[in-house]
Structure 1
Amino acid sequence: MTDSAKLDHIVVAAADLDAGVAWVEQRLGQALPAAGGKHPLMGTHNRLMRLGQASFLEVIAPDPDAPRPAHPRWFGLDNPPATPRLAHWLVRWPGLPALPAVNGPAIRQRRGDLSWLITVPEDGALPHGGVFPSFLDWEMDEAAIPPRAMPSKGFELTALRLRHPDAPQLARDLAPILQDPRVSWHAAEEVALSATLTGPEGAITL
């Protein structure tokens, strides 16, 4: 196991960003911060909220004002879910060594002055239906990573449950990279993710 890999963020995918934001806000019981922006290379846009000290929640959808990219969008967003859902999660891993083949190559993304590396399968699909994480490298000191500066509503990620028919093997594949007591694997016929966020009024589930 590497001590440098950490859970970076969870991803709610939607066909429409406003619908995705509304889905999250209904569960939080309050409005999301206005933070977010566009990803020109991928034709997507997002909204962001910090969770705890150094993780965050991302709501992401295709950007109707952006040209459709010549390559597949990330997070399976060429075919977004009919209704918003918790679809994926990401681990930050400085240097991105020895990447699992299922994750595809690391590509560079830019937004404003920010630049980072992130794994994206060549077909844009979610690794193992979304339960196996993608990996990113912010290419900066841990104390300066972007999540630390994001606006917060007082929520923390306290549990991430991952369901997959091959959950035991996926857990073994990830174990040398990440050990996080909040993350649990469960064998199940259907692929699904759920997360518990604990906030000012108690716990909610996405």
Structure 2
Amino acid sequence: MGSTEVDHLVVAAASLEQGAAWCEAVLGITPGPGGKHLLMGTHNQVFSIASAAFPGTYFEIIAIDPEASPPPRRRWFGLDDAGLQRRIADAPRLVHMVARSRMLDMHRKGLADAGIDPGPPLTMSRDTPQGPLAWQILVRDDGVLQLGGALPTLIQWDGTHPTERMPASGVALRGLQLGGLPPEVRQLLALQGVAHAPAPALRAVLSTPLGDVTLETA
């Protein structure tokens, strides 16, 4: 069915201002610009963390957009969960990983055959100063992350990938570990460069201007 690759890490913040301050203090860089997701009522800041082991990978700091109208559905990455909102009130947290697929429909069917509902494909886009970005992404209607957050959200880009327009940031992904994926899901996704262990759901090791930094989900 084909392998998947690490596309981006997702850090949830109470606000983008909080997220930028955290990024400067913890990772030693100022995050790059992002954009708005009208369907989800969120906005983000992004920067490249690509490395030889994880090409085409970036870092996303995401928050609920206070200027956006309430969305007609639950937001992605569990951002509407009251527990998560309490946890990020004091500081942003790593919450998830998105994996890149070139055969989204086939991977979705494979997960369904394994008894896992990753959600329907949503067609999304956003404008950037360098031109539009377009993608399909699997998001459950209830916004809940599966397998305790260990199951990556699957995305398939249409045309340009965001990292093609991102300069080097000084931060690079050195290692990534997932915990909690059943063997059949590991085999289905065949995530490139990812190690597997019992817990936590996600642990990332990043090289930064401040030295190596380890982030992990609760």
* TM tier relative to shorter chain: 0.7 to 0.9
What do the CA deviations read for 1:125-165 (whole angstroms, capped 9, x no partner)?
Answer: 1222222100111122xxx42222123312221112233xx
Deviation at 1:31, TM superposition (A): 1.8
Which runs of structure 2 are paired with 1:1-206 in the superposition (5 Å)? 2-3=2-3, 5-33=4-32, 35-52=33-50, 53-79=55-81, 80-81=84-85, 82-83=87-88, 84-96=92-104, 97-99=106-108, 100=111, 101-112=116-127, 113-140=132-159, 144-163=160-179, 167=180, 169=182, 171-181=183-193, 183-188=194-199, 191-200=200-209, 202-206=211-215
Q: Deviations over 1:34-79 (max 9, x none)?
A: x101101100000001112411000001001001111101111112
Amino acid at match of 1:69: P
Residue 213 of structure 2 aligns with an amino acid whose one-letter code is I
Report % sequence identity: 39
TM-score normalised by structure 1 residue count: 0.85
By how many angstroms is 1:194 displaced? Answer: 2.2
Number of aligned residue pairs = 194
Instruction: Find the residue that maps to 1:102 and give its secondary structure.
Output: coil
The question of whether the paired residues in 1 share the 8 Å contact of 2:44 and 2:60 is answered with yes
Q: CA deviation at 1:192?
A: 4.0
Task: Measure the CA separation in 1 of the matches of 2:201 and 2:18.
Answer: 20
Q: Give unmatched runs, 5+ long, in structure 1.
A: none
> Shift of the alpha carbon at 1:168?
5.4
Cα deviation, residue 200, structure 1: 4.6
When the two structures are superposed, what TM-score results if normalisation uses the length of structure 2?
A: 0.81
The root-mean-square deviation of aligned C-alpha atoms, in Å, is 1.9
Describe the SS at the equivalent of 1:122.
coil
- SS for the counterpart of 2:164 is helix
Letter paired with 2:97: W
Instruction: Tell me which amino acid in the other structure corresponds to 1:107.
Output: L
Q: Distance in 1 between matches of 2:7 and 2:58?
A: 7
2-structure distance, mates of 1:157, 1:106? 27
- Give 1:25's aligned amino acid: E
TM-superposed CA distance for 1:2, in Å, is: 1.1
Q: Is the 8 A contact 2:27 2:210 kept in 1?
A: no
